[in-house]
Chain A
Amino acid sequence: MSLRDKIDNFKKPFAKGEKYEKWAPAVNALDTFLFVPNHTTKKGAHIRDGVDLKRTMITVVIALIPALIYGMYNTGYQHNVQTGEAVDFMSCFMFGLWKVLPMIVVSYAVGLGIEFAFAIYRGHEVNEGYLVSGLLIPMIMPVDIPLWMVAVSVVFAVVIGKEAFGGTGMNILNPALTARAFAFFAYPTFMSGNKVWVADASTTDAISGATILGQLAEGKGDKVTDVLNMVHDKYDAWSMFSGAIPGSIGETSTLWILVGAAILILTGVASWRIMVGGVIGATIMGLIFNVFHVNALMTLAWYEHLMIGGFAFGLVFMATDPVSAAQTTKGKWIYGVLVGMFCIMIRIFNPAYPEGVMMAILLLNVFAPTIDHYVVEASVNRRKRRLAVKQLKTT
């Protein structure tokens, strides 16, 4: 008996009209992960592209892997370098793996559990969107956040952020960022400050858990210049770029995020327009601040802004979420540029949020439909004008 026959046998009680019919979406979800189904076209075009949502979503997961592996290594590295333990790749990576893996397991278990429950309740197939969100959520959390907080954030993001709006494809905000924003406001002591960004920093006095942006935001007035100098002594441009700095698990390494970005752009899965637009927006804003440095914080070089904090990660993996981003080609440019500009603006002007990318993306998520509206309206107006010209001629 082949595997296929075994599955078909197992699925019999879940068929239409059978006893466990309503549980079918759950079984189908597992089945279609093993086999692309044998469904043939019933109407419309007789042939269909080989791509499906699973393939698209898994491509994003693949693009996340380099940053994830580096994130696990960096979790260990940031910890070990301060405690004086071994900093070779394997020991750092294993340390990080044991910290991060439980978060990923919790995120997937809770999130997919809810997705399956809603699919069964609503009688539709399980959408694959959470495969990406479920990996993104642990990657944008600080390493020491308790697992139950991860779970609660996931519940909020999936139920309120997504299913309340009708499920995959209907949400206004990016689900992963919704989870982070929830944790950020609900458990601020675990999500901000100088004690959370390196493993065990909150329990061990010897370990400092401050991020670069966090330190800069703490410094007031002229002290910022001192902090800037201190930061530059501690971290050179290469560590900022390669990611050997404290931060949320997956977001520190601009290098490996760029590898992910290359995968996303080459496969056409994420919009390069949003990414390029975001870099342009952030660069413009950074340059403006560099030129008119009214305060010391504005002297942080524009290119350093691109490398530190979650800017690169947010722009590549979250701002490009096709559901919550602008959907039209022109809209994507506008949206991308604005994400970049707002991110840097929030960093400089709002001391409550040392990192601006989360707020910038969520804000623009809200405005994306408006941007699209005006872009589409341009086409609508061209059509109306054509009609008006025509009517003018005939009368």
Chain B
Amino acid sequence: MSNDIRIKKGLNIKLKGEAECLLSEAPRSKVFSIKPSNFHDVTPKMVVREGDTVKAGETIFFSKYSSSVKFVSPVSGKVKEVRRGAKRVILDVLIEADATDTFVEHGVKSLAAMSSDEVKQSLLDSGCWPFIKQRPYDVIANPADAPKAIFISGYDTAPLAADVTFALKDKKDAFQEGVNALTKLTTGKVHLSIDKTSSSYFKEITGVELHGVSGPHPAGNVGVQIHHIDPINAGERVWVVSPQDVAIIGTLFLTGKFDASRVIALAGSCISEPKYYQTKIGASVSDIIGSVSEDCRIISGDVLTGDKVTADGFLGFYDNEITVIPEGNNYRFLGWMPFKDNSVHSYAKTSFAWLSGKKFDANTNINGEERALVVTGEMEKVMPMDVYPMQLLKACMILDLEKMESLGIYEVVPEDFALVDYVCTSKIEAQEIIRQGLDVMIKEVG
């Protein structure tokens, strides 16, 4: 393929507990949750109240500042509780599920006959819109925008990531229909990037420009792919959708239902039998993982970008993976000595860990403390873009908007700096700094 992307810089962190390609049905959770904090920069406006009964696909809340964007219930049941935190911020909405789902019927629609606006309206009405995210800024797309292109990354290279092709193996028709819907939303192209070596049906999907991707993580990050295919300039918008969500969108048009089902990978060294589970958005994690030791951290998402959840927590809206790894709240005597503690994974060559071919049992210890930025050149090794990571981070720290713009803030999102978090000798919270920088840009530039 002429459209191939070969990534050279980056890092595959080899971890224990990769999910085996076996699919099980997870027991249906009694309670599901929709968490506004999964949707960055959205202020929820509640539609339902505690005690209301809802159907699967019925609106729970909408975005206060973009009222056409609705967030719907993944299952049918009763609104059990609206949990609030400080200043009455809504933490999450709990829905007690019925034994079987009754759906809001949107009716089967034929995409071929629909206009762009009609497709948009269907997505907004059905609650599928939040699946469409916008770059720059990594927020939910604004329905009024016309994106220059839409990108789908069919390849996840993150450590212990779910295999997209396995998760979607039975959903070819839904995926194709989802792609058809997305092509209606842009005058530009829809780009689909896949693992170059994969033999899945992704190659047969029509209506997309196909890109074969190879190389270490973050090759699978859609932001990296955008940078190499059609980089974002100031003022431009592109939209991205993750592949499982494309299939949910496709299912909407094929069946008229908001089908919140997901195949998720359960991975990590704390899990005795890591494999795939059929479940739904917002499901309770304890129903999937059973009980794990208290010394383990449960992450909704992957180890680099996921969110920590408690044992009674729930699967995030966008996540297709639960990772459970040991907490690292232990001391290591003289652990800073070079070439001591080689069992601790390290990309730096001041430990023999990089020579080891085996997989690591990584824990959540920071392995040091935050320090001033001293070492140079290490961030660049995991940043396969024409972006100077350290300079951009420093621009974000001092909120120099002009510098942030010229150094490429529009082309990056926090997940592109996840490996910078990982490799940084000075333990800088790069993802957080980039997120804060982006938030300021949203406010000041929009």
Cβ A55 vs Cβ B376 within 8 A? no
Shortest distance in angstroms between B345's beta carbon and chain A's nearest beta carbon?
6
Of chain A, the residue at the smallest CB distance from B372 is A169
Closest chain A residue, CB of each to CB of B338: A59
**Contact in complex: B371, A47 (CB < 8 Å):** no
Interface positions of B from 331 to 380, Cβ below 8 Å from A: 331-338, 341, 344-351, 353, 362-377, 380
Known: A36-B368, A47-B422, A51-B425. A58 touches B337 (CB 8 A): yes
Give the docked Cα–Cα distance between A3 and B299 (Å). Answer: 33
How does the 8 Å CB contact mask read for B313-345 relative to A, with 1 for contact and 0 for none?
000000000010101111111111110010011
Task: Say yes or no for A45: interface residue by CB 8 A criterion.
Answer: yes
Minimum Cβ distance to chain A for residue B226 (Å): 13
> Across the interface, do B367 and A329 meet the contact criterion of CB distance under 8 Å?
no
B308 interface residue, CB < 8 Å from A? yes
Q: Is the pair B406, A383 in contact by a Cβ cutoff of 8 Å?
A: yes
User: How many residues of chain A are within 8 Å of chain B by beta carbon?
Assistant: 58
Say yes or no: is B251 at the interface (Cβ < 8 Å to chain A).
Answer: no
Given contacts A48-B422, A379-B388, contact A41 B364 (CB under 8 A): yes
Interchain CB contact under 8 A, A55 and B336: yes
When C-beta atoms are compared, the residue in chain A nearest to B415 turns out to be: A45
A387: which of B233, B347, B364 is its contact (CB, 8 Å)? B233
The reply to whether the CB of A128 lies closer than 8 angstroms to some CB of chain B is yes
Q: Smallest Cβ distance from B387 to chain A, in angstroms?
A: 7
A40 adjacent to B386 (CB under 8 Å):
no
Query: Are the CB atoms of B350 and A37 closer together than 8 Å?
Result: no
Residue B5 interfacial (CB < 8 Å): no
Complex contacts, A169 vs chain B, CB 8 Å:
371-374, 426
The stretch of B95-103, B114-122, B428-436 in contact with A is B428-436
B275 within 8 A of A: no
In the bound complex, how far is the Cα of B338 from the Cα of A323, in angstroms?
21
Q: Is A221 an interface residue (CB 8 A)?
A: no
Best-surrounded residue of A4, A34, A47 (most CB of chain B within 10 A): A47
Question: Is A43 interfacial (CB-CB < 8 Å)?
Answer: yes
Q: Chain B: how many interface residues by the 8 Å CB criterion?
A: 76
**In the bound complex, do residue A170 and residue B366 qualify as a contact, i.e. CB atoms below 8 Å apart?**
no
Residues of A within 8 A of B143 (CB): none
Using a CB-CB cutoff of 8 Å, which residues 234-261 of chain A contact chain B? none
Within 8 Å CB of B371, what residues of A?
52-53, 125, 127-128, 168-169
Residue among B13, B387, B406, B418 with most chain A CB within 10 A: B406
A56 in contact with B364 (CB, 8 Å): no
Nearest chain A residue, comparing its CB with the CB of B429: A44
> A259 vs B345: C-alpha distance in the bound complex, in angstroms?
27
Whether, in the assembled complex, A91 has its beta carbon less than 8 Å from a beta carbon of chain B, the answer is no
Closest to B421 in A: A45
Question: When the two chains form their complex, are residues B364 and A54 in contact, meaning their CB atoms are under 8 A apart?
Answer: no
A168 in contact with B372 given A36-B331, A48-B422, A267-B350 (CB within 8 Å): yes
Whether B304 lies near A52 (C-beta < 8 A) is no
Residue B407 CB within 8 A of the other chain: yes
Can you name the residue of chain A whose Cβ is closest to the Cβ of B371?
A: A53
CB neighbors of A among B223-244 (8 A): 231, 233-234, 236
The answer to the question of A202 belonging to the interface, with a C-beta cut-off of 8 Å to chain B, is no
A46 to B365, CA, bound (A): 8
Contacts of B391 in A (CB 8 A): 376
Contact with B along A161-172 (1 / 0, CB 8 A): 000000111100
Which residues of the other chain, A, contact B390 by a CB distance below 8 angstroms? 327
- Check if A322 sits within 8 Å of B406, measured CB to CB: no
Chain A residues, CB < 8 A from B425: 49, 51-53, 56
In the complex, A380→B299 CA distance in Å? 37
From 395 to 445 in chain B, residues with beta carbon under 8 angstroms from any chain A beta carbon are: 406-408, 418-419, 421-427, 429-432
Q: How far is the CA of A59 from the CA of B374 in the complex (A)?
A: 14
Q: In the complex, A98→B346 CA distance in Å? A: 39
Let me know if B256 is at the binding interface, CB within 8 A. Answer: no
List B contacts of A134 (CB < 8 A): none
Contact partner of B363 among A3, A4, A47, A56, CB < 8 A? A47
Assess whether A328 is interfacial by the CB under 8 Å rule: yes
Asked if residues A49 and B423 are in contact (CB atoms below 8 Å), the reply is yes
Given the known A-B contacts A46-B303, A56-B425, A387-B233, are A51 and B387 also in contact in the complex, defined by CB atoms under 8 Å?
no
A94 within 8 A of B: no
Shortest B369–chain A CB gap in Å is 6
B370's nearest neighbour on chain A, judged by CB, is A125
Which residues of A in the span 24-75 have a Cβ within 8 Å of any Cβ on B?
32-41, 43-56, 58-59, 62
A56 to B425, CA, bound (A): 8
Q: Are B303 and A55 in contact (CB under 8 A)?
A: no
A36 touching B325, Cβ below 8 Å: no
Q: Among A38, A168, A386, find the residue whose CB has the most chain B CB atoms closer than 10 A.
A: A38
* Contacts A/B (CB < 8 Å), 28 sampled: A3-B333, A35-B334, A36-B365, A36-B368, A38-B329, A39-B365, A44-B431, A45-B305, A45-B431, A46-B303, A46-B323, A47-B362, A47-B364, A49-B424, A50-B346, A50-B353, A50-B367, A51-B367, A52-B367, A55-B337, A56-B375, A58-B336, A125-B370, A169-B373, A169-B374, A267-B348, A271-B377, A376-B391
A40-B297, A376-B388 given; name 19 further pairs at CB < 8 Å.
A34-B333, A38-B329, A39-B369, A40-B363, A46-B297, A46-B364, A48-B365, A50-B348, A167-B372, A168-B371, A268-B349, A271-B377, A327-B376, A328-B380, A376-B391, A376-B407, A379-B386, A379-B407, A383-B406
> What are the 5 closest A-B residue pairs judged by CB atoms, nearest first?
A52-B368, A169-B372, A36-B335, A50-B344, A50-B346
A-contacting residues of B (Cβ < 8 Å)? Answer: 13, 15, 159, 231, 233-234, 236, 297, 299, 303-306, 308, 323, 325, 327-338, 341, 344-351, 353, 362-377, 380, 386-388, 390-391, 406-408, 418-419, 421-427, 429-432
